[in-house]
Amino acid sequence: MQALEQPSLNIDLLCREAQAFSITESQHAETMLFGVTDGKAIGTYLEHKFRLHLLENYQFEQGNSASGIDFPSLGVDMKVTSIKQPQSSCPFKSARQKIYGLGYGLIVFVYDKTDNPESKTGTLHITDTVFIEKDRTADFQMTKGLRQILENEGNTDDLMAFMAEKNLPVDEIELQNLAEEILIRKPEQGYLTISNALQWRLQYARVIEKAGTETGLVSVYKNP
């Protein structure tokens, strides 16, 4: 008897499974996590477990170092972060990402970890799971400022001055090119805070706060 072919994963199914996973994981006591404080190790554990959960039920292209994101066919990357300091790193490709977004969406699991000394287990209570559409992954203050300049009939010089003031990591020529593009193609309002570094540092406090109230920020799960 031929096995039924697994359905292909899409973003709606990804969000639905992320919601179910968040509920079950929040109740799971794990001996491997007892005493673990390293955020990277916790993130790897949760990402691996969620990926295995999906592989049991769906077909999808798995991410690798070349694609750089977890679900390349969906254009989505997975992030895991502590509620105590909700942030993560992300590869720097170009300064444009601060203005026009990362180029892919994010599914973000936010956890609050507790240890049980009696059972010697750790539990990741998922406080929030948020899906950020790729058009909303730009920097909040950068896009807000640029959009306001455009609404106030700003020109190329105004845009260049603002981006330079915000220390956008580009040279004068690229600054000019970006300003000219922004005049033609108004950026969407982003919701991440993206800090300049060798890698982008993404911060999620605003995303957690506004999930479910703004277009492109989907509240997949919120701990009741």
Q: Please give the pLDDT value at position 196.
A: 83
Q: Please give the pLDDT value at position 214.
A: 95
Rounded mean pLDDT, 167-171: 92
pTM above 0.75, yes or no: yes
The phi and psi torsions of 90 (rounded to 5 degrees) equal -155, 140
Instruction: Indicate the pLDDT class of residue 121, thresholds 50, 70 and 90.
Output: very high
Reduce the DSSP state of residue 161 to 3 states and report it.
Answer: helix
Instruction: Indicate the pLDDT class of residue 151, thresholds 50, 70 and 90.
Output: very high
206 has a pLDDT exceeding 90: yes
Instruction: Indicate the pLDDT class of residue 217, thresholds 50, 70 and 90.
Output: very high
Q: Please give the pLDDT value at position 65.
A: 64
Q: For residue 115, what are the β-bridge partners?
A: 122
Q: Please give the pLDDT value at position 66.
A: 65
More confident residue, 197 or 5: 5
105, 14 contact by CB (below 8 A): no
186 has a pLDDT exceeding 70: yes
- Long-range CB pairs of 5-8 (<8 Å, 24+ gap) are 5/59, 6/57, 6/58, 6/59, 7/57, 7/58, 7/59, 8/58, 8/59, 8/60
114 has a pLDDT exceeding 90: yes
| Crossing angle for the helix pair 140-151 and 172-184, to the nearest 10 degrees | 60
Q: Please give the pLDDT value at position 198.
A: 65
21 has a pLDDT exceeding 80: yes
Would you give the end-to-end CA distance of the chain in angstroms?
44
3 has a pLDDT exceeding 60: no
Q: Please give the pLDDT value at position 1.
A: 40
More confident residue, 3 or 101: 101
Domains of the chain, earliest start first: 11-88+104-134+204-222 (3.40.210)
Average pLDDT of the residues of the chain? 94
Q: Per-residue pLDDT tens for 62-86?
A: 887 666 899 999 999 999 999 999 9
176, 160 contact by CB (below 8 A): yes
Strands 193-195 and 105-116: unpaired
